[in-house]
Every structure is written in structure tokens, then in C-alpha cells.
Structure 1
Amino acid sequence: MSTPPPRRPNPPAPHDPEQRRARRHRPPSPRPATAAALTVAVSVLLTASACGSPTTTSDDAKPAAADPTTGDASPAAPIDACALLTEPEVTQVIGAHRTDGRPGDARTVASCEWENPDTAHSISLSVNLAGTAANGTLPTEEPGFESRPGPDGIRFSSGGAAQFVLGDRVADIQVVSGAAGRADETTAVRLIGQVRSRF
């Protein structure tokens, strides 16, 4: 009958208290990241990327507003009524003068007034909105409006103003120079020709 081998004695417990605590509180080994944790990380990255990407606002997508009178996408060019007569042309009629004008656009009537402050003689010109002279003709007179026809499609009012067509617009000019008879109307006809040549 064989004799079993002798049993190896257990190693003696460490007598150092620090070694005992180190063995008792040894930290667990790290665990590999799970599939769920990886999925959450990817979702967070995708969300952050979407938040940082530029977006197109509704204002960027809107086309340019059309001109209400012409239907064009670009606004009409402003009209400078004061540029339709030259300084020498005005001075010839009323002498030294001052100029007061207001440019016009698709929604505003263009106007200009040249006035001699010493004599109160003046020339007034206004250019109405586009489309006010449809088909190149003056609109029908309003009831009670007294006028008489002049040359080149011009219409004179009882107050001495001359109404005429400028493109597709109604324009008005009035000359006050103190001349006798209808000399101011004759001057107005001449100035209308000069205005039309520059429009």
C-alpha cells in the first residue's frame, strides 16, 4: 500500500497590515465596453454633427420681391426729374434760381421745382408712376376738369399746367414767367420736347 505524498503547507498570512489591506481591497479588472455603450456613443456623435450643420432659413429661399407696377423681379430705377432739364434751359426762362427736387421710384412720384426767389417765377415738373399712361395715352379726364388740347398730345388745364405722356407715365409741367398771353404755354411745349429727349 502506497503512502500519499505529503500536503504542501499553506503560505503563512502576511504579518504586515498594509499588505493585508492591499490584498483585501484589490480593484477589479476593467471590463470591455459593451455593444450598448458603443451604440449610445455613436448616437451622441451623430446628433452633435446634425446640430452643427448649417440650415437654410425660409428667408434665404424667398425670391426677390417683384415690382408691383412692372412685375419685374428687380425694382425700377429711380427717376430724377431735375435731370430732365438743364440749368441753362431753366435760367433762360426764369433767370437765377434755386432747385428743389425729389427723386421718384416705383411707389413715389418724381418732382422738381426751379424757382427764382426774387421774382417768384418758376418751372414745376412732375413724373407720375409707371403705367399711369396706359398704351401711351393720357387717361380720361375726370368730371369737372376743364382742359383743351395742345400739340403733340399735350393737354392744357385752365390753370396753365401742361399734361403730357412720358413713356408709359403721365407727366405735368407748369411755367410761370410773367409773360403775356399764352407765352408760358409756348415755353412749356418747348420744354416738354427737351424733357422727352432725355427720358
Structure 2
Amino acid sequence: MANTGEDFSQIDISKEEKDKLVSEVVRYMLFKSHQNSGCPIKREELTQIVTKNYRQRALPTLVINEAKEKLSSIFGYEMKELQRARPSTMNQNQPSVTDSKSYVIVSKLPPEVYGKYVEDTETCHITGFTFAVISIVHLAGGKIAEENLWHHLVRLGLKETDESHPILGNLKQALEALVLQRCKSILV
């Protein structure tokens, strides 16, 4: 989407504000999809995120389109738009003129790669934890205070004080192991 920057230049919003809105929509899509196990997310919900502080008419469409690009290029997800006709409230026999748009995110990984790396029952728990941490850090701009990271992880049901998580064990140690692994990969 080469002209996204040009589209945003027509709207009185800074790059930082735009990036923040896009990140909020991406974060919402990722967490809501995880929370509701692939249930469609209404466009109205995404529009409310954008219009909470901004009133520009074209802004939600531009932000959602850029969020689609980020989900694809960074996370490997395709944000598919679902469209279904709403039943008319006046006359149930006539098709409705209003459409209800919703979105789902679908992995772009080939089935064999998905099966090998995502559905691996031996490592899927640590892979999921790693994915959640990396996603939060990325959406925070590449850096995040540990306190803020735990604030977001708590929303996923992962508490810093949990020393006996049924799968990950001591969650603080699991996070420290990720950081240590990241440091080792930088040094190599």
C-alpha cells in the first residue's frame, strides 16, 4: 500500500498518532482473536478504537488498512474481511441494504510449516508464550518496561508471581529465559 502515507497526509494526524492507532488495532485483533478463538471481530469495534479520540471520517478505513499490512508483514496473518447482509428490521422478506462487516485473522503459513512449528505439542506452549511477549514488545515500539509487559501478560492470565503455572512453571523464570535466549542470539 504505497499511497498510505499520502492518504494519511490528507488527515490532520501525526505519524506517531497514526502508528499508535494502527498498533492499537493490531493489538486488539491479536488479543481478541486469541480470546475468542477465531470469532469474527466487528468493524464497528475497530472503528470505535480509532474514533475514540479522532473524528476524521476516513481515518478508520486508513488505520484498518495499515493494520492489515502490519498483521501480514510482521505477524504472518491475513486479516480477511467477512461481509454479510443484516436482516432488515422493517421487512424481513427483503434483503437488507446495510452490510455488517467483520474480520478474522488467518495464518499465512503453509500447512506443513504450520504443523511443524505451530502445532508442535512439545514446544507449542513456549512458542505461544514467546509469540505473545514478542508481539507486545513489538507493538510497544520495540522496547517496553518489564512492569508494562507484565501488565499486558496479566490480561492473558499470566501473573508474574505465578511460580507454578501448569505448563510454563515459574513465569518470571520463563520470561528471564526468553531474555537470556535473546541476549545469546545477539552475541552469536
User: Which one has a larger percent strand, Structure 1 or Structure 2?
Assistant: 1
TM-score computed with the length of structure 2 as normaliser: 0.24
TM-score computed with the length of structure 1 as normaliser: 0.23
User: Which one has a larger percent helix, Structure 1 or Structure 2?
Assistant: 2
